[in-house]
């Protein structure tokens, strides 16, 4: 009788994704590398259905994120794989598991801060969805969520983000507005 007093049924937990097989929402993972102490380094894209897909690399054990070459160009799959492999061969991060999906306000702030860094120029800065590739592991949201957020920022903060027609007139382009200069 005493043993049944202290025996509790195990709670049923939802299945946990393993970093080795996890794919962040809104991405397609094409390659995975193992870092020295076991952390997983991903090579992924968010736009594989387009003519030119840009890739990023992210370590699930540390804060490493990369979506540009040293010349500040967006990465091809080959370049992202090279960056991921170089990072994996030097990173000593332990596996930390799959990052927690942030609540919407935190994800919004991550996107806003990514856009905010473009306000320091002298001219409006065009926003491309590929600008968020390195951030996809952290925000864990699909492309349509990012587009909807950008549209809501245009409405709420027109001095920060605006739209302009694309050069072919078939759509719109988001533009980060610079700080007002005296």
Sorted by where each starts, the structural domains of the chain and their CATH numbers stand as 28-88 (no CATH), 104-176 (1.10.10)
pTM over 0.85: no
CB-based burial, 126-155: b 16+ in 10 Å, e otherwise:
ebebbbbbbbbbbbbbeeebbeebbeebbe
> What band does 22 get if pLDDT is binned at 50, 70 and 90?
very high
How far apart CA 150 and CA 145 sit, in angstroms, is: 9
Q: Tell me: the pLDDT tens digits for 58-67?
A: 999 999 999 9
Q: Tell me: the pLDDT tens digits for 46-86?
A: 875 566 889 999 999 999 999 999 999 999 999 999 999 99
**Nearest CA to 119 among 161, 152, 158, 71?**
161
């Amino acid at each position: 009788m005493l043993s049944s007093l202290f025996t509790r049924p195990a709670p049923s937990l939802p299945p946990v994704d393993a970093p080795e097989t996890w794919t962040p929402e809104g991405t397609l993972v094409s390659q995975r590398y193992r870092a020295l102490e076991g952390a997983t380094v991903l090579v992924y894209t968010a736009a594989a259905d387009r003519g030119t897909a840009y890739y990023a690399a992210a370590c699930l054990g540390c804060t490493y994120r990369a979506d540009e070459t040293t010349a500040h160009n967006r990465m091809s799959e080959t370049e992202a794989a090279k960056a991921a492999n170089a990072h994996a061969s030097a990173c000593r991060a332990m596996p930390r598991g799959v990052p927690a999906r942030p609540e919407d306000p935190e994800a919004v702030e991550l996107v806003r801060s990514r856009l905010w860094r473009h306000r320091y120029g002298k001219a409006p800065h065009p926003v491309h969805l590929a600008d968020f590739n390195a951030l996809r592991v952290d925000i864990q949201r699909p492309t349509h969520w990012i587009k909807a957020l950008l549209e809501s920022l245009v409405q709420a903060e027109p001095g920060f983000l605006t739209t302009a027609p694309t050069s072919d007139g078939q759509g719109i382009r988001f533009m980060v507005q610079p700080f007002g200069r005296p």
